[in-house]
Structure 1
Amino acid sequence: MRQLTALDAQFLNAESATTSAHVAGLAILDPLGGVLDRETLAALLRERMHLSPALGLRLSEVPFGLDHPYWEPDPAFDLANHLFETEVAAPGGEYQLADAVARIHARQLDRSRPLWEMHLLRGLAGGRVAVYTKVHHAAIDGVSGAETLAALLDLSPEPRVIDVTPPPAERGPSLAGMLYGAAVRTATHPVRALGSLARAAAELDAIPLAAGLPGARQIAQAARLVAGDRRPRPELPGLNVPRTPFNGPISAERRLSFGSVPLKDVKDVAKRHGMSVNDVVMALCAGALRTWLRDRDALPEEPLIAAVPVAVRTTGARQLVGNHISAMVTPLATNVADRHARLHATRSMMRTAKRRFAAASSSWLHELCSLLPPPVTRLASPAIFRLASVACPPINLIISNVPGPQFPLYLCGARVLSYYPISVLTDLSGGVNITCFSYDGMLDFGVVACPERLDDVWSLLRHLRAALDELLDERVGDELGDGVGVDLVSG
């Protein structure tokens, strides 16, 4: 019997009429002359679902919302409620596929069933097919999501043999057990909340929005001294969030763009400038966002503030349901016009943010979610998110880079050509989210946006490619002595 943590439950609490808190991936596949249909996918899921616990569990709510929900096996599980087939509009290009997926991504998952769906999308140009899969963020984080995906994939077109022996059946929580647990946790919540407050206060100078409060740094230093923590903390630059068109209340609609760039080129830029691949990704995003905002006369003088999700799952942990994540907050060098200076500024900012994150407690996100009693958090979160988006957004957007395998994978014998991650939008985190996934020599970008906040999501993807193109042109010019451009790979 697993109970959701405060952080897990917050992803449920964040949902509203305009917010759906699931994460997703869009796989583009080449059937290699075979057939990938719904029946084949269904057979694969029936054979391997037991390898991914989150796929068979549904929520069990505590009466009156007195405590966080529990996970329990779904006794009436029906694959027909989770596996669907859709025909993409002609001519089946990337725009038509993106429109079809955006409509599916905007819809919330049914909480009376296990919180996931898989959609087979047919009718793509070139005989390809796509598989879009979404799972609620309350059930998985980046690591557990990758492991869930890996359970369905193979290293060759020939599917591997799987032990179909199901694990021992779990018992769902009893009503008496849930009410007893709720009573105990309600009675002890003030004490636990004080502990969470003290631990969060120790990182006050690194928490979005809170870092800008008067005396935040002094309060954090005092809290660390009281706790006996004398480790030095690098000082972060200012985390004041400028206003942008994509910050504010979002609508329920979504728009999506996706595309790929060669990972080799990104690694080459990283090597030449003494940066990590993730640093280059951040610099590309900064350049793309700068161009998009400048073209609309909306570029703030201050750098944008981005949150970067970080996995904090302990080595060897096998808990495949729930979240073990934190967030690193850093300025983006959107205020730097020169591409070289922007790269160097990004390298400096990211080094400081990484050192600060490594020296700090990684639990501050969980501690913040634990401050209020579950019934209060459940009722107040959507209103707090919307109010904060208007009055004082804590960040401008979320940027995530998920490492993946550098070799081809197969689904039901079909080769996975690309895998585009698609993440969550909330009032609090802004109307655009950029996520990338490295796979088989490529860096696959998925950009999701609210159309009322970012009116042309494909232009942002083009700016991402152009930002890398600038750096590649520089490399070619150095090597050949000319200004030959580089044609990037399209999604």
Structure 2
Amino acid sequence: MPEKLTPLDAAFLEIEDSDRHASLAIGAVMVAEGPAPTDHDLIERLNSRIRSLPHAADLIHTVPFDLAAPTWVADANFDPARHFTRVGVPTPGRMQDVTETVAWIMSERLDRDRPLWQCWLIEGLEDNRWAILIKAHHSLMDGITGARLFDVMFDAPPSSSSPTEKAAPAEPESLYGRIVGAYCSVLETPQRLARRSVRIVEGTAQLAGDLLIPSANTSLNGSIGRQRRYGAAQVRMHDVRTICSTFDVTVNDVALACVTSSLRSLLLHRNEDPSRNAVRTLVPVSVRSSNNGTSPHNEVSLMLPFLPVDTEDPLDRLQLIHRRLSRHKRGGESGSGQSITAAAQYAPFMSSAWFVRLAMRVPQRSIVTVVTDIPGPTDKRRLMGRDIVSIYPYVPIAVRLRLGFAILSYHDQLTFGITADYDSVSEIDLLSQSLEQEVDVLLRSTRTPSPLAEPH
């Protein structure tokens, strides 16, 4: 039987259909060094591996009048070569030439008469480098499943342990211990369910309030055009971890602090007031369970915190972000978002599709930007024998979001990909520089830490 798209997967198609300027494809740019592979070799790699990705060889089949959810059907004429293109930048190509090429490619919508992905080889970079851009529709995968693209493209990583090494056998649990554990679990289950229900209700109320209350009026929110700008930034993961250990924060906290600094710099550059309620951001949260890691569907919820662009001191901003995110996580927002999308599976698809279209007709003024983090390979990887130097992520924008930030960890790097509307955000270099400078400032603070900021 053809597999149906989930309501969340289908929603990305509905949003794209409702916004003629949106292209809802996610992507990753992988920069490699050494001679670029031939078209034949790269297509052979795709041909031998791409089918391991769910629905990479499938088309989307829609039902007239939304009487049923779209389904995935096999493409009888599937040919990976039709999804591959080689382009060049003027030599010696710099990173700016790559980002401009990525912006041009990602501005265009994927052809729905073919499986919804593309592979672009960008050659002509300086220092004997080249890049691969993988582009896939958001209905096909989320950030977690998108990380499987790395396994499809890259060479197999070297084994981390000797074949002769064996893990120590786990100590068997006694029958008595299993019985006691099961009994305690039964007693605790009603309490856990009750607490979870309360958190979901509170989180749903919080999400509804966040969506209804508009952010302060700034130039960061408004209509967008079809063209995009793309910027990239990179910091050392060692520096980020030093900041985390010194101030007891997470990598995600530091990344959001960098985004906050860049948006504050942009507002000040435009002589606008970076007020307390100027920037509410959509932070996708993976709700993928450990036993559901292979699901091909989008499994994300969201948080909607305000970024403290009004706070001048970088360390104060970092601590505020840490406290706000902790509060949002405790508040059950991500659980409520997951419950809403789960409940949508039991409603007629027509009603959910029409709801998305109706919502798209109402200009939203609450969310200003999206910030998403994507797990990348933790070890150095290679592609057809060439070293992968860096990986930069791409997140799409739509529905009056003029800016989007994607964050990816790779080996000893934390990289940022900035997506911007071409017409309304020309200061892409300012955003990239501010992201990198914020880590430098916070790193200097680790040598002379100041007292923690009081809650605002």
TM-score range, shorter chain: 0.7 to 0.9
2:323 matched residue in structure 1: 348
Equivalenced residues, count: 407
Q: Does 1:252 align with 2:226?
A: yes
Distance 1:372 1:335, change over 3 A: farther
2:275 aligned partner: 301
Between the aligned partners of 2:435 and 2:357, the Cα distance in structure 1 is 32
- Secondary structure of 1:316's match? helix
Per-residue CA distance 1:339-374 (angstroms, 9 max, x = gap):
222122112111111212378434145268669854
Deviations 1:315-350 (A, max 9, x none): 122544221111122121111112222122112111
Runs of 5+ consecutive residues of structure 2 not aligned to the other structure: 160-197, 450-456
Name the residue aligned to 2:60: 59
Matched with 1:164 is: none
Deviations 1:394-435 (A, max 9, x none): 31111112232221111122211111000110125x111111
TM-score by length of 2: 0.83
Mean Cα deviation higher: 295-304 or 454-463: 295-304
- Higher alpha-carbon deviation: 325-334 or 313-322: 313-322
For 1:330, give the aligned amino acid.
P
Task: Say if 1:81 and 1:45 are closer, same or farther in 2 by CA, change over 3 A.
Answer: same
- 2:293 and 2:313 map into 1 onto residues whose CA distance is 45
Contact in 1 for aligned 2:253/2:321 (Cα 8 Å) = yes
Give, in whole Å, the separation in 2 of the partners of 1:138 and 1:105: 15
CA positional deviation for 1:385: 2.7
Tell me, yes or no, if the aligned pair for 1:199 and 1:367 is still in contact at 8 Å. no
Q: Which amino acid aligns with 1:137?
A: H
Aligned counterparts of 1:469 and 1:365: Cα–Cα separation in 2: 40
Equivalent position of 2:76 in the other structure: 75
Distance 1:52 1:320 in 2: 11
Aligned to 1:336: 311
Determine the structure 1 residue equivalent to 2:171: none
In the alignment, the residues of structure 2 paired with residue 102 and residue 371 of structure 1 have an alpha-carbon distance, to the nearest angstrom, of 38
**Larger deviation: 415-424 or 453-462?**
453-462
What is the letter of the counterpart of residue 468 of structure 1?
A: V
Give the counterpart of 1:439 among 410, 413, 416. Answer: 410
Rounded to whole Å, the distance in 2 between the matches of 1:462 and 1:385 is: 33
Corresponding residue number in structure 1 for 2:362: 387
- Compared CA separation, residues 325 and 437, structure 1 to 2 (3 A): same
Matches within 5 A, 1:18-33: 18-31=21-34
Contact 2:59 2:75 in 1 (8 A): yes
Q: Please, which of 439, 451, 455 is the counterpart of residue 422 of structure 2?
A: 451
1:289, 1:460 within 8 Å by CA — same for their partners in 2? Answer: yes
Verify the 8 A CA contact 1:312 1:362 in the aligned structure 2.
Answer: no
- Local SS of the residue matching 1:250: coil
Structure 1 379/112 Cα, relative in aligned 2: closer, same or farther at 3 Å?
farther
Alpha-carbon distance between aligned partners in 2 of 1:378 and 1:360, rounded to the nearest angstrom: 22
Alpha-carbon separation, structure 2, partners of 1:211 and 1:449: 23
For 1:400, the equivalent position in structure 2 comes to 372
Hey, what does 1:101 align to over in structure 2? 102
Identity %: 27
**Counterpart among 418, 431, 445 of residue 460 in structure 1:** 431
**Distance of 1:355 and 1:255 partners within structure 2:** 36
2:244 to 266, 270, 274: 270
Q: CA deviation at 1:378?
A: 4.5
Structure 2 distance, partners of 1:370, 1:250, is 31
1:287 and 2:268 matched: no
Distance 1:368 1:98 in 2: 40
CA deviations over 1:1-35 (Å, ceiling 9, x no partner): 2101111111001113200111000000113xx54
Residues 1:212 and 1:313: Cα distance change in structure 2 (over 3 Å): closer
TM-score (norm 1): 0.77
1:137-172 superposed Cα distances (whole Å, 9 cap, x missing partner): 1010111111233232224599xxxxxxxxxxxxxx
